[in-house]
Amino acid sequence: MNGTDLLYDTAARGAWVLVLATLPALLPALAIGLVVGLLQAATSIQEATLSFIPKLIGVFLALVLFGGVIGGLLSDYLREAASAIPMMAR
């Protein structure tokens, strides 16, 4: 594998790691936003800031639960990317 292919593979893996690292925080925020939006529509409450605190709590809990997994994923990727730098220069 030449340096260009390795660079593209590392970049593609980085994009995938980015998706996997952000999903645990994004999914609860999206779900909570949907539920609060439905409740606001059902009760005719049109307060834009009402969903902020539940989303904040949901994202915080998700990061507490999945923070170790996210950290491990990011550190593994960074270790692999750093070890591939000398091979990319060829």
Regarding pTM above 0.85, the answer is no
pLDDT in tens, 7-53: 899 999 999 999 999 999 999 999 999 999 999 999 988 888 888 99
Side-chain-side CA neighbours of 31 within 13 Å: the count stands at 10
Going from the C-alpha of 9 to that of each of 20, 44, 61, 71, 75, the distances in angstroms are: 16, 50, 33, 21, 17
Can you give the residue range of the structural domain that contains 67? 3-88
Predicted pLDDT at 4: 84
How far is the C-alpha of 58 from the C-alpha of 75, rounded, in Å? 24
Please tell me the number of Cα atoms within 13 Å of 73 on its side-chain side: 17
How many domains are there within the chain? 1
